[in-house]
């Protein structure tokens, strides 16, 4: 039987009241999707609302577009998957071998506060299965707990999109919360790359986090290796 991967995308397409678009970051969907498919994994895309999952339009344009995003746009199978995501409440997440949460600004608004997302994270870690979060994906860890009630990330090595990187995009003032400050406030041991925008993947047990969009490929490789 092929390994089964659940990719949980955001359903949120606006960045607060800023008028700016949010959603998932395209390459953090496309690059892992094709890597998982190449490994022979069964990949299911899901989202809180189901149906079409919004992609941040900025991530589909240069300089953020990639060969994999361009391939995804022309791929009828991939397009069907992202325009018809399964509603998260209709998914039996326990049937999957691992869960991957692409980043983008959307998760800050909907996944971080979604009780089912929190349960999926807690239960999957408890089952000793890998859970991965690149870029702003770690926003979904905000309210996840250990069995003793402590924050899930307390005492764990983690990373995520840094405040400096948000500042460079002039988006920090529009965000509901800072991923970096949240992880630190919850007791996470935050590890960042020496230079901004460089790939950085941090593993702590089955919890796998990536710093930025450049980490999409490397974190997908690490995640896939856990399923091999």
Q: What does residue 38 show for φ and ψ, rounded to 5 degrees? A: -65, -35
Which two tokens mark 8? Answer: 């949980």
pLDDT digits (tens, 9 = 90+) for 142-156: 999 999 999 999 999
Least confident of 14-28, 119-133, 196-210: 14-28
pLDDT digits (tens, 9 = 90+) for 95-118: 999 999 999 999 999 999 999 999
Predicted pLDDT of residue 176: 74
Kindly tell me if the per-residue pLDDT of 175 is higher than 80: no
Q: What does residue 50 show for φ and ψ, rounded to 5 degrees? A: 70, 175
- Return the sign of the alpha-carbon dihedral for residues 51, 69, 207, 189: negative
Which two tokens mark 227? Answer: 């399923």
Q: Which position has the token pair 């400050």?
A: 181
pLDDT bucket at 72, cuts 50 / 70 / 90: very high
Q: Where are the domains of the chain?
A: 4-227
In this prediction, what percent of the chain has a pLDDT beyond 90? 89
Whether domain 4-227 has CATH 3.90.25.10: the reply is no
């Amino acid at each position: 039987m092929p390994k089964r991967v659940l990719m949980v995308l955001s359903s949120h397409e606006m960045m607060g009241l800023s008028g700016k678009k949010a959603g998932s970051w395209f390459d953090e969907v496309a690059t892992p999707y094709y890597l998982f498919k190449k490994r022979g994994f069964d990949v299911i895309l899901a989202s809180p609302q189901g149906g079409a999952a919004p992609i941040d339009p900025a991530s589909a344009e240069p300089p953020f577009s990639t060969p994999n995003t361009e391939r995804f746009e022309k791929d009828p199978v991939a397009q069907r998957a992202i325009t018809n995501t399964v509603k998260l409440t209709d998914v039996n997440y326990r049937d999957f071998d691992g869960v991957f949460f692409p980043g983008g600004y959307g998760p800050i608004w909907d996944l971080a506060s979604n009780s089912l997302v929190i349960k999926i994270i807690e239960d999957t870690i408890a089952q000793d299965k890998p859970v991965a979060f690149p870029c702003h994906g770690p926003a979904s860890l905000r309210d996840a707990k250990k069995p003793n009630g402590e924050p899930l990330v307390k005492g764990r090595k983690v990373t995520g999109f840094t405040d400096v990187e948000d500042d460079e995009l002039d988006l920090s003032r529009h965000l509901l919360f800072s991923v970096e400050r949240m992880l630190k406030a919850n007791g996470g041991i935050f590890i960042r790359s020496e230079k901004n925008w460089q790939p950085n993947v941090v593993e702590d047990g089955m919890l796998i986090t990536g710093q930025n969009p450049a980490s999409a490929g490397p974190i997908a490789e690490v995640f896939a290796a856990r399923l091999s």
